[in-house]
Amino acid sequence: MTLRQTFSLLCLAAIVVLGVASRLLELPFIDRAQSVRAMARYPDRAWPDFPLFLQGVREHTKPGDTIAVIVPAMNWDGGYSYAYYRASYFLTGREVLPLVTADNARVQKNFLAAKYIAVFGVGLRVPADIVWREGRGALLRLRQR
């Protein structure tokens, strides 16, 4: 190996080493027990009863059903993405249709395509039949127009 190749290899190694954030090198060695305990106790701090609501939605729907979720935060980064992905997790086997895109555009066709509307923490004034209600949430079935 020539001197030039050796120098180039050392420069590349220095760039790679200096480009890695030092915090990433610490991660395997830090104690994460406190954050694990906190997440186990309070995974849904903003809406602590949301998982219980989703469990009720699951009990009152069948695999293959389409469900749209409406929550107080209808902005993607303001909380809707959390509610959508959490619902997708709890409602495995059902199709959860998003009503908001990542750029906060409303998806009206998904609202109309859903067999059920899971409404949590807000009121909804549309012609619908209440399938199930508990706490701050309700599962609605839109009436055919």
Report the b/e string of 5-28 with b at 16+ CB within 10 A: eeeeeeeeeeeeeeeeeeeeeeee
Rounded CA-CA distance 21/46 in Å is 31
Each residue's pLDDT, cut to its tens digit, for the chain (145 residues) gives: 899 999 888 888 888 877 777 776 677 788 878 877 766 666 677 788 999 999 999 999 999 999 999 999 999 999 999 999 999 999 999 999 999 999 999 999 999 999 999 999 998 888 899 999 999 999 999 887 5
Amino acid at 35: S
Domain boundaries, the chain: 3-41, 50-142
Question: What's the confidence (pLDDT) of residue 35?
Answer: 72
Question: What's the confidence (pLDDT) of residue 40?
Answer: 64
